[in-house]
Amino acid sequence: MNSISNTLNKRKQLKNNLKAIREESPFIKAQRMDVPEGLYEKCPSCNRTVNMKSNIENDYICKHCGNHFRMRAIDRIKYIVDEDTFVEKGLGYITLNPLFQDGYEEKIAKYKKETNLDDAYIYGYGQIYGQQCVIGVMDSYFLMGSMGSVVGEKVTRSFEYAIYKKLPIVIFSASGGARMQEGIFSLMQMAKTSAAVAKHSKMGLLYISVLTHPTTGGVTASFATLGDIILAEPGALIGFAGPRVIEQTIKQKLPEGFQTAEFLEEKGFIDIVVHRKDLKRTLSKLLAFHRRPN
């Protein structure tokens, strides 16, 4: 089989690539969002204004109502991964414009500058209270965290890296779904990432999926809901179709609390809803339960 030897060659290249990257990339240095002392924001849940500076110190949780604010990928990694253990992998991807859509390149360039990311997903090696794992985080500030070719490829790569290293993987998803601007290519990423989950799972490795606000569309319908264990943050919007689309289709208002994490836990699609303050401890416990004897 010619194609098999081709693929083996490709694998070899991939391995070499990973080696090169491991040597060259220091752990991520993107800075925290600069927040001035006097910045106030309205909490989307209780409509009270909160000081962002103190909010960040409170792990992005509203002190009035306990609403979990969205977190940037970098902040999430700083919050979850032990200090100085994170090594970013899969750098250097360039998002292209396969369908030649007007304004898409400019949009990407703008978000790249704003968020200091290649695309809406970063992954790498890290430790959670000493437990080794591969950790991947989607960033909902980058074009609503939508999944295009690059995000799909990096998610797939993160699973492949975990297989290569025989490590468990933790993925935080936050996404509006597949990226429209890349059309059919985005749709196919759903198949690609799901197939990657299958390979990882077949190796007997653990995959913990953490659903954060918001997880909808193509990401819900692929790797995000395929975890061995699925956690979610309180109040997160999780669903396949967006609430607006459903309202338009059935022509009536949706009930209160529909498609929240608690709702899905009740319906049996999520293992635990975990408060952000308990998240790191829960993850490290779960990883420890599944630690393999060396």
Partner 1 sequence: MDILAKERKVKDLEKQLSELGNSEAVEKIKLEIKRYKEKEMTKLTPWDRVLLARHQLRPTAMDFINYMSQDFIELHGDRLYRDDMSIIGGIGTIEGQVFTIIAQQKGKTLEENLVRNFAMPHPEGYRKALRLMKQAEKFGRPIITIIDTPGAYPGIGAEERGQGQAIAMNLLEMSELTVPVIAVVIGEGGSGGALALGVANKVLMLENAIYSILSPEGYASIIWKDASLAPKAAEVMKLTAYDLAEFSIIDRIIKEPLGGAHFDKEKTYLDTKNAILEEYYKLRKLSPTEIHFQRNNKIRNFGFLQRFNYENLGGIKR
Please report, as ranges, the residues that interact with partner 1 according to CB under 8 A. Answer: 1, 3-4, 7, 17, 20-21, 24-26, 28-30, 91-96, 98-101, 116, 149-150, 152-153, 156, 178, 180, 182-192, 194-195, 197-199, 202, 217-218, 220-226, 239-241, 245-246, 249-250, 254-255, 258-259, 267, 269
Vertex 97: Cα angle to 93 and 99 (nearest 5): 145
Distance between CA atoms of residues 123 and 258, nearest Å: 31
CA–CA separation, 17 vs 150, rounded Å? 17
**Contact yes or no for 164/157 (Cβ under 8 A):** no
For partner 1, the closer of residues 65 and 198 by Cβ is: 198
**Residues with Cβ < 8 Å from 48, sequence gap 6 or more?**
42, 62, 64, 65
CB-based contact 203:166 (threshold 8 Å): yes
Q: Which residues pair with 229 in a beta bridge?
A: 208
Query: Given the complex with partner 1, which of 130 and 257 has the nearer CB atom?
Result: 257
Q: How far is the CB of 228 from partner 1 (least distance, A)?
A: 12
Beta carbon of residue 225, minimum distance to partner 1 (angstroms, whole number): 4
CB contact at 8 A, 99 and 183: yes
- Choice between 140 and 149, CB closer to partner 1: 149
Residue type, 181: Q
Q: How far is the CB of 276 from partner 1 (least distance, A)?
A: 23
- Closest approach of partner 1 to the CB of residue 146, in Å: 11
Query: Which of residues 39 and 246 has its CB atom nearest to partner 1 in the complex?
Result: 246
- Shortest Å, Cβ 260 to partner 1: 11
| Pick 129 or 258: Cβ nearer partner 1 | 258
For residues 25-64, b (16+ Cβ closer than 10 Å) or e, as one string?
eeebebeeeeeeeeeeeebeeeeeebbbeebbeeebbbee
Q: CB of residue 251 vs partner 1: minimum separation in angstroms?
A: 11
User: Alpha-carbon dihedral of residues 84, 55, 120, 170, nearest 10 degrees?
Assistant: 50
Residue nearer to partner 1 on the CB measure, 113 or 267:
267
